[in-house]
């Protein structure tokens, strides 16, 4: 049997040597700086020699490590080509996407049938997060987050704008039939619903509507927006919701926007892929599809 060094440590070592930085390797692989350091220490123990030396505040690969990393990289390239050549014809490829829960439920997942119709050999696996502040983690090909598509906002990722976002008043058609809202002042007779994850939404809308004097009106607050949205659909009160993310709900009659002309621009959503990664055509094609869907929803 071949006496091989630990393969996961080899993979991490190759990235660290190629990028010249533990931090960049951690960002590319979706790991912590400590995890990268531990795996490289494991490999150094197996080899019996140091692979990196400290150069100021960073760890620099030794000359021998650079040669070793080049050979490891070539070996991984050959392994990838062999796996592709020997793969099952027609086998479905997995594309792993991380997205905020409400975005995934109300916008992304309802549109995936269109993507799958055009890409029958790709299976999109969606994982959700409940807070916009959750840090980026590894194990996904594309991460969707609220933010600006600027380099300084995501230093380790390429950011592509996917969907613009505006807030407006939402309510159920049944509640509108009972107590219609025809002017901004009509909201005073309704129960207001809000979300902890969308702080300030009511204050911003009231300012846009010229109703700042109602800022102290009581609200029923839920922990997440997807709960608030369901409560609005059930007719328990009125809320502030994002468009075009809720456009399908409006189109199928689950929700309505009684004062749609009063809108508050918000920071939109971006698709993130690692800058140092090699996402390939599958990821790039999916991100292009996302951006196209976002443009079509405006």
Q: What is the CATH number of the domain that holds 22?
A: 1.10.10.10
1 belongs to a structural domain: no
266 belongs to a structural domain: yes
131 belongs to a structural domain: yes
- What was the pLDDT predicted at 133? 45
* pLDDT tops 80 at residue 84: no
User: Do 62 and 101 lie in a common domain?
Assistant: no
User: Do 245 and 112 lie in a common domain?
Assistant: yes
Q: Taking all residues of the chain, what is their mean pLDDT, rounded to a whole number?
A: 87
Task: Tell me the mean pLDDT in the region 102-109.
Answer: 89
Q: What is the CATH number of the domain that holds 207?
A: 3.40.190.290
- What was the pLDDT predicted at 295? 79
pLDDT band of 12, cuts 50, 70, 90: very high
Task: Tell me the mean pLDDT in the region 216-242.
Answer: 94
Range of 79's domain? 7-86
Structural domain count, the chain: 2
- What was the pLDDT predicted at 206? 96
User: Do 18 and 121 lie in a common domain?
Assistant: no
- Name the percent of the chain lying above pLDDT 70: 90
Hey, which of 66-70, 77-81, 91-95 has the most confident mean pLDDT?
A: 66-70
pLDDT band of 138, cuts 50, 70, 90: low
- What was the pLDDT predicted at 154? 82
User: Do 58 and 183 lie in a common domain?
Assistant: no
User: Do 279 and 153 lie in a common domain?
Assistant: yes
User: Do 64 and 104 lie in a common domain?
Assistant: no
Answer with the residue of higher pLDDT: 275 or 268: 268
Task: Tell me the mean pLDDT in the region 165-182.
Answer: 96
Q: Of 59, 86, 113, which residue sits at a domain end?
A: 86
Q: Of 86, 119, 150, which residue sits at a domain end?
A: 86
pLDDT band of 137, cuts 50, 70, 90: low
2 belongs to a structural domain: no
pLDDT band of 117, cuts 50, 70, 90: very high
Task: Tell me the mean pLDDT in the region 92-108.
Answer: 87
SS3 string, the chain, reads CCCCCCHHHHHHHHHHHHHCCHHHHHHHHCCCHHHHHHHHHHHHHHHCCCCEEEECCEEEECHHHHHHHHHHHHHHHHHHHHHHHHCCCCCCEEEEEEEEHHHHHHHHHHHHHHHHHHCCCEEEEEEEECCCCCCCCCCCCEEEEECCCCCCCCCCEEEEEEEEEEEEEEECHHHHHHCCCCCHHHHHHCCEEEEHHHCCHHHHHHHHHCCHHHCCCCEEEECCHHHHHHHHHCCCCEEEEEECCCHHHHHCCCCECCCCCCCEEEEEEEEEEECCCCCHHHHHHHHHHHHHHHHHHC
Q: Which residues of 86-115 are buried (b: 16+ CB within 10 A; e: fewer)?
A: eeeeeeeeebebbbbbbbbbbbbeebbeeb
- Name the percent of the chain lying above pLDDT 90: 49
User: Do 100 and 172 lie in a common domain?
Assistant: yes
């Amino acid at each position: 049997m071949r006496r091989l060094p630990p393969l996961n440590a080899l993979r991490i070592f190759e990235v660290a040597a190629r990028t010249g930085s533990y931090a960049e390797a951690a960002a590319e692989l979706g790991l912590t700086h400590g995890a990268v350091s531990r795996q490289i220490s494991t490999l150094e123990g197996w080899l019996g020699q140091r692979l990196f030396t400290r150069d100021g505040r960073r760890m620099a690969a030794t000359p021998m490590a650079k040669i070793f990393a080049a050979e490891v990289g070539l070996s991984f390239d050959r392994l990838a080509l062999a796996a592709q050549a020997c793969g099952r014809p027609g086998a479905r490829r997995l594309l792993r996407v991380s997205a905020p829960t409400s975005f995934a439920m109300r916008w992304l997942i309802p549109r995936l049938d269109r993507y799958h119709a055009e890409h029958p050999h790709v299976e999109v696996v969606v994982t959700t997060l409940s807070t916009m502040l959750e840090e980026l983690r590894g194990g996904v090909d594309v991460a969707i987050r609220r933010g600006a598509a600027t380099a300084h906002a995501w230093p380790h990722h390429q950011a592509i704008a996917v969907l613009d976002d505006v807030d407006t008043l939402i309510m159920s058609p049944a509640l509108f039939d009972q107590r219609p809202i025809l002017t901004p002042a009509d909201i005073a007779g309704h129960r207001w619903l809000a979300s902890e994850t969308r702080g300030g939404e009511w204050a911003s809308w009231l300012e846009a509507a010229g109703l700042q004097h109602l800022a102290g009106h009581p609200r029923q607050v839920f922990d997440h927006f997807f709960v608030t949205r369901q409560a609005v659909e059930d007719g328990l009160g009125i809320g502030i919701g994002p468009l075009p993310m809720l456009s399908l709900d409006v189109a199928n009659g689950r929700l309505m926007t009684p004062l749609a002309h009063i809108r508050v621009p918000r920071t939109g959503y971006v698709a993130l892929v690692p800058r140092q990664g090699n996402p390939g055509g599958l990821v790039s094609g999916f991100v292009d599809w996302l951006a196209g869907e976002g443009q079509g929803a405006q």
